[in-house]
Structure 1
Amino acid sequence: MGYVSRLPEMEDGRKEQRRQLLFLSGTCYYLTVGIILEYVQGGEPKTRSIDLLYLRPDTDAIALVEEIRKGEPLITASCKEHVIHLVRRLQEKLEEKEDHKFYLFKVLRAHILPLTNVAFNKSGSRFITGSYDRTCKVWDTASGEELHTLEGHRNVVYAIAFNNPYGDKIATGSFDKTCRLWSTETGKCYHTFRGHSAEIVCLSFNLQSTLVATGSMDTTAKLWDIEKGEEIVTLSGHSAEIVALSFNTTGDRIITGSFDHTVAVWDVGTGRMLHTLIGHRGEISSAQFNWDCSLIVTGSMDKTCMLWNAMTGTHVATLTGHSDEILDVCFDYAGQRIATASADGSARVYNAETKKCIAKLEGHGGEISKICFNPKGNRILTASSDKTARLWDAATGHCLQILEGHTDEIFSCAFNYKGDIIITGSKDNTCRIWH
């Protein structure tokens, strides 16, 4: 969507900019609509952002702008009409129908042994693949050309990530118990983080790109300083393997999900455990903050998904309906919908406010291991052991397209930030690019 418009100079020299902001967490994409106010204070240029997470095509634009003005003195009466105009333009963009059909662009025989994960950078211009062959490879999306092979690990490269939204660094977590930090441009290894006593199975950068977190089978997570290449703190408290972790968008909290059936909320600055989310009766498979950091969603092998208040750690709701283990969960960009993927071969979409199931995604012939929303939030992508990925309408649960061609289980899938390119990774040792 990416609509940008500048307001004219105001009497006091301030400027406003109206646009959409794009951000990324871990292997999940966020698109948030908002206003960025640019102004000068004490001779220094400043910016302030106002999120419009709940803007919809039928929102009353005049009432919305009036409500914003009550709490934002930077929006003056002289520019109110222009802001209303821009909100309406954005609503037109939100209302546009999408009938994009994806076609296979390229098959990459990426590694000599099976892949473990795939991930895009923010723009989608590059992606990375991890493998049992002990390497991570960097690829150009447009051409399918291999740019770098990141070599040095002595065992499976399992967890991989770009430091989005910047994308100039890559982190790889390995069964050799180390995490490595690399240059995207040169493929050079900046740091090797040592300290875990067992396999690293999950990792994540904070959005500020100052820290990388690693989760291990040794029951601990560690925070590492990207610039110094040093361990900041060890997060100890779980009694079993840590298999999921995620920073919130502000970077002051991180959650860890464990096979001990709990999720812990930690203060990033001190390493102190703030809350333990207790309620699941099976291993945790996935955990994530919503965009405004108010909620946490958790998926478990106990066949349920739970919602939690991120500030207090209290249980908000249990989302039921699946008949087998939940393998992945995610929020849409606005935190209004939750999607769950299950070993029962189905996925579900829940309304985060009403906690009701609003769509059932049925049709896969095997377990669904990965699920994600497109940045706009109106499409869902699923990856399954039935060798296909599927594209769904997020509102109705209708299957829009089946991505076929892989000859073994698909375990990883992702959209680029525009939502017009998909990558799928399979146990058939190939990665496929779909346009």
Structure 2
Amino acid sequence: MKLKRFLIRYYPPGIILEYEKGGHLRTKSIDLLELSPETDTDELVAEIRQSEPLVTESRVEQVKQLVLRLKHKLSQREHQHVSLFKALQAHILPLTNVAFNKSGSSFITGSYDRTCRIWDTASGAELHTLEGHRNVVYAIAFNNPYGDKVATGSFDKTCKLWSAVTGKCLHTFRGHMAEIVCLAFNPQGTLVATGSMDTSARLWDVEGGEEVATLTGHTAEVITVSFNTVGDLLLTGSFDHTVSLWEVASGRRVHTLMGHSGEITNVQLNWDCSLILSGSMDKTTKLWSAVDGKCVTTLTGHTEEVLDVCFDLTGQLIATASADGTARVYNAATYHCLVMLEGHKGEISKICFSPQGSRVLTASSDKTARLWDVASGLCLQVLEGHSDEIFSCAFNYEGDTIITGSKDNSCRIWR
């Protein structure tokens, strides 16, 4: 094995090693999820040197400089306030979803008008309209980190793969017997997973456009799909009250997580793939061990359905959003509720952490989105101006730009 170069990853903090083995270029990552501005640099570098044979004595100074850069990034104060940059009358019918590419230089919007549009974030200019679906475009995603392809899932039962560069349709994936309501790319960008109201999830080959596997076993619609950070496992959440963990290579179901008494609303694996998070209409959030599929704890407190859940990028914090109009942030290790986020006057359907993990963004039926401080639970800002409910929102990679998508047919860029 021969080390070629180091790459830095700011969110979550880590160092990527690019090395040659058997004539092939490979990568592995050293995750530094516990890194803070107070971390002893020399001590950490010594630990890395001890556990990673590719980091030889001659590379120690290089690694030290990367750790210092990561610490400097972590110590930078976030720009807490955003202003409305542009309101885009994006579609002729309500939006369904919004999503950024990895760098945040462009974003996509899906709509009931049967199209997906690609936008330039810096100017607000429309780059492409992706036309061809015969029904609502409900699920959308970039193939991050690459950002050169877009997948769209539709109520017309198909998923389409597009070039983000030219706007041309590359493949149409056919096979589902009912509406497609969720999709995700694997981290390598080689597979797309789709979930449907036909109770199945399917895996599709990006290059060849063929179906790779049909994952059956759920007894109601598959409402959410997500890959782990390595891309060898897929999570599916269903209205049948269960969550399934699948082995991507074989299509085998590894675990069925049973315990919720209501429909699943969202599921997610944490960064190191040790924990699974699930939110449900039964008003609870559950944490499960990804190793044995056992429930670790149940987070209670919401008085109405839990509509969205997520980990921060390091996997140390959990956020939950509810139809009761409140959101909560929990410590993923102790399960304690750290703060309650109160102020919305309607249900909160979407929640996400900033890449830095110090702020939370919520979208609500009260026509506003809100920015919250994780440490104090205080509302930093109310993002107002939409004339109907907001049901999609996202941060860019740097955490300094926000997109909100609304039922009012528009999206807004805040920065």
Q: Could you tell me the TM-score, scaled by structure 2's length? A: 0.96
Give the partner amino acid of 1:294. Answer: S
The amino acid across from 2:264 in the alignment is I
Structure 1 residues 193 and 368, CA, compared in 2 at 3 Å: closer, same or farther? same
Bigger drift between 86-95 and 224-233 goes to 86-95
Distance 1:250 1:334 in 2: 15
Contact kept? 2:7, 2:18, Cα under 8 Å: no
What percentage of residue pairs aligned between the two structures are identical?
70
The equivalent of 1:20 in structure 2 is 9
Structure 1 residues 256-267: aligned runs within 5 Å: 256-267=236-247
Partner residue in 1 for 2:51 = 71
| Distance (whole Å) between structure 1 residues aligned to residue 106 and residue 62 of structure 2 | 37
* Cα separation, partners in 2 of 1:44 and 1:121, compared to 1, 3 Å: closer
The answer as to whether partners of 2:80 and 2:380 remain within 8 angstroms in 1 is no
Q: Given the two structures, how large is their TM-score scaled by the length of structure 1? A: 0.91
How far 1:193 moved relative to its partner?
1.0
CA positional deviation for 1:244: 0.7
Q: How many residues align?
A: 415
How far the C-alpha of 1:49 sits from its partner, in A, is 2.6
Which of these residues, 378, 392, 408, is aligned with residue 412 of structure 1? 392
Q: Which residue of 2 aligns with 1:421?
A: 401
Deviation at 1:273, TM superposition (A): 1.0
Does the C-alpha gap of structure 1 residues 324 and 107 become closer, same or farther in structure 2, counting only changes over 3 Å? same
Q: Deviations over 1:172-227 (max 9, x none)?
A: 11111111111111111111111111111001111111110110111111111111
Say if 2:139 is the partner of 1:162: no
Question: Could you report, residue by residue, the CA deviation over 1:337-383 in whole angstroms, capped at 9, with x for unpaired residues?
Answer: 01111001111111110011111111111110000111111111110
1:299-318 to 2 correspondence within 5 Å? 299-318=279-298
Q: Deviations over 1:114-149 (max 9, x none)?
A: 111111111111111111111111111111111111
Shift of 1:18: 6.0
After superposition, residues 364-403 of structure 1 pair within 5 angstroms as: 364-403=344-383
Q: Which residue of 1 aligns with 2:41?
A: 61
Contact 2:15 2:66 in 1 (8 A): no
Provide, for residues 27-54 of structure 1, a one-character-per-residue CA deviation record: whole Å limited to 9, x for no partner.
Answer: xxxx221223455667876654311111
Q: Which runs of 5+ in 1 are unaligned?
A: 1-11, 22-30
Structure 1 counterpart of 2:297, one-letter code: A
Change (3 A) 1:13 1:223: closer
Q: Partner letter of residue 111 of structure 1? A: H
Are 2:90 and 1:110 equivalent residues in the alignment?
Answer: yes
Find 1:335's aligned residue among 304, 307, 315: 315
Residue identity matched to 2:314? A
Instruction: Specify every segment of 5 or more residues in structure 2 that has no aligned partner in the other structure, as ranges.
Output: none
Instruction: Give the 3-state SS of the residue equivalent to 1:90 in structure 2.
Output: helix
TM-fit CA distance, 1:13: 9.2
Equivalence for 2:121: 141
SS in 2 for 1:32: coil
**Which residue of 171, 196, 199 maps to 1:219?**
199
Aligned to 1:256, what secondary structure does the other structure show? strand
Q: RMSD across aligned C-alpha pairs, in angstroms?
A: 1.9
Q: Tell me, what secondary structure is at the counterpart of 1:223? A: strand
Deviation at 1:15, TM superposition (A): 6.3
Change over 3 Å in CA distance of 1:390–1:285 after alignment to 2: same
Q: CA deviation at 1:159?
A: 0.6
Question: CA–CA distance in 1 between the matches of 2:56 and 2:134?
Answer: 60
Q: Is the 8 A contact 2:2 2:54 kept in 1?
A: no
Of residues 120-129 and 73-82 in structure 1, the stretch that sits farther from structure 2 once superposed is: 73-82
